[in-house]
A = this chain, B = another copy of it.
Amino acid sequence: MPPGEAGASSDEASSSEASSFDDSLFGPVFTTDDLAEATSGRAWVAGMLAFEAALATAEAEVGLVPPDAAAAIARCCRQADIDPAALGRAARLGASPAIPLVAELRRRLPAEAEGWVHFGATSQDVLDTALMLVLRRVTELVLADLGRLARAAATLAKEHRSTITAARTLLQHAAPTTFGRRAAGWLVAVMEAGDNLREARRSRLAVQLGGPAGTLASLGRSGPRVVGLVATELGLEVPVLPWHTDRTRVAEVSCALALCAGAAGKVALDISLLMQTEVSEVFEPSAAGRGASSSLPHKRNPAMAVEVLAACRRAEALAGVVLSGMVQEQERAVGAWQAEWQTVPELARAAGGAVSFAADMLAGLEVSPARMAQNLAGTGGLALAERLTTELTPLIGYSEARRSVEAASRQVVVAGISLQEALSREPGVAEVMPRLPPDVFDPAGWLGSSEAFVDRALELYHKAYGDD
């Protein structure tokens, strides 16, 4: 590394160089500022410095490092204003930002302390621990947004517990349901994804400290004790073993983030479909300029849904890089580990952005029960075809019931008459129609357990989130 390059403090980095590596044009469209900050180069450097400080301090505590050296190191790490961009450029030479970071710290320390920085550790210890600290903050943010998303879904489920709408299967009207039932489905998926992420956060964020061979050779018999102290200081778990090429925990957190993206994306897809011109049952929250078009003054685009869905697509692919990267060589991988460095932050931004924007979208959703009723009525009662088959079966037998309902349904489509009228024209049906239940053509009479299901989902939500 050319002398001083990694040591360049922020102001020395020319803005033109910095911005070539920036994502500020498209980045904000798909994630939040908080997530961007939590996964930024600055956040990584802060994590790396926190590791080096905690390591020296712990090693001093067990007597491996002179207390004065440890204090100097900790102070230097606390005060260091290390420019991520300068570090990044210097990292090319050794394929690791940890190498120039350690070199820079050594450059800044007095001679009697420099040899004690990073003592017994390896590059991957620094970077993996920093990753865990980054993920701790990321998962905190995503869980908070999942909470907001769950609350918004719960509110809709409660408010529209009995708002009748068409259930749509394969994009076709199937039978009546309630909008609350649909929202309850969103809610449960979001809670499940949240449980998964919460558990991964609780149990899988562990310190990395193994030294170059994963044996902590330089630490003699104090290895495990130092690991414990560093973990405590940084608020991370103590792993059974150093986990340099056991990426299970990174893969688990990555999958958990991808699940969150999936749960958010499902909501966004539904909203985009329900906002279609011909459907118009819900609308994203309105705000000046939101959902505007560059050329069409009248449009109200599902802009938030678009952002969620695009982020989602990226999240799933990025999780794949981590999963396929689990197969790593011996004690340090040749590429698969290093591919995580950009990938996990991007995954966090994408998945977290999807969740956050979905929460915003759902929290202000405009719902039109009138349009829902109108759309359902638009099919002349076809959504009740299953019920009619069911009710007619005891009267005329299953085969005849199914045949006559199918024939009548075709007439509804072809002749534009209602199912009731069409059925009354079917031979053999007219005479038994008076024996059908009076509400047989009323969607409200064919909701089954919709409302019971809403209640179950809400009960779970209240138990988990304590909201009311």
Contact = CB atoms under 8 A, between A and B. Distances in A.
A277 B385 CA distance: 15
A168 interface: yes
A49 interface: no
Contacts of A389: 297
Which 3 A-B residue pairings sit nearest by Cβ, starting from the closest? A115-B398, A309-B335, A262-B326
B192 A246 contact: yes
Interface string A399-420: 1011001100110110000010
A136 interface: no
Copies in the complex: 4
A90 to B, nearest CB: 9
Nearest to A86: B24
A241 interface: yes
Contacts of A386: 211-212, 217-218, 295-297
Interface in A323-363: 323-339, 341-343, 346
Nearest to A449: B223
A304 B1 CA distance: 15
A462 interface: no
Contacts of A295: 118, 120-123, 211-212, 386
Contacts of A277: 166, 168, 171-173, 375, 378-379
Contacts of A311: 339
Contact of A296 (B17, B221, B224, B385): B385
Interface stretch (A72-80, A267-275, A425-433): A267-275
A221 B445 CA distance: 12
Given A20-B36, A273-B329, 9 more contacts: A21-B24, A21-B40, A94-B294, A120-B295, A172-B301, A218-B387, A266-B328, A297-B409, A317-B321
Contacts of A272: 170-171, 334
User: Interface size class for chain A?
Assistant: 35 or more
A18 interface: yes
A21 B23 CA distance: 5
Nearest to A45: B25
Given A213-B176, A241-B185, A26 B278 contact: no
A286 to B, nearest CB: 10
A89 B30 CA distance: 10
Nearest to A227: B449
Contacts of A192: 246, 248-249, 252
A243 B409 CA distance: 28
Interface string A160-192: 000000111111111111000110110011001
6 contacts: A99-B293, A177-B331, A189-B248, A215-B450, A276-B279, A296-B385
Contacts of A399: 111, 114-115
A334 B401 CA distance: 29
Interface stretch (A54-62, A139-147, A229-237, A451-459): A451-459
Given A297-B386, A297-B389, A307 B217 contact: no
B1 A20 contact: no
A27 B19 contact: no
A93 B292 contact: yes
Contacts of A294: 94, 96, 98-99, 102, 118, 121-123, 126
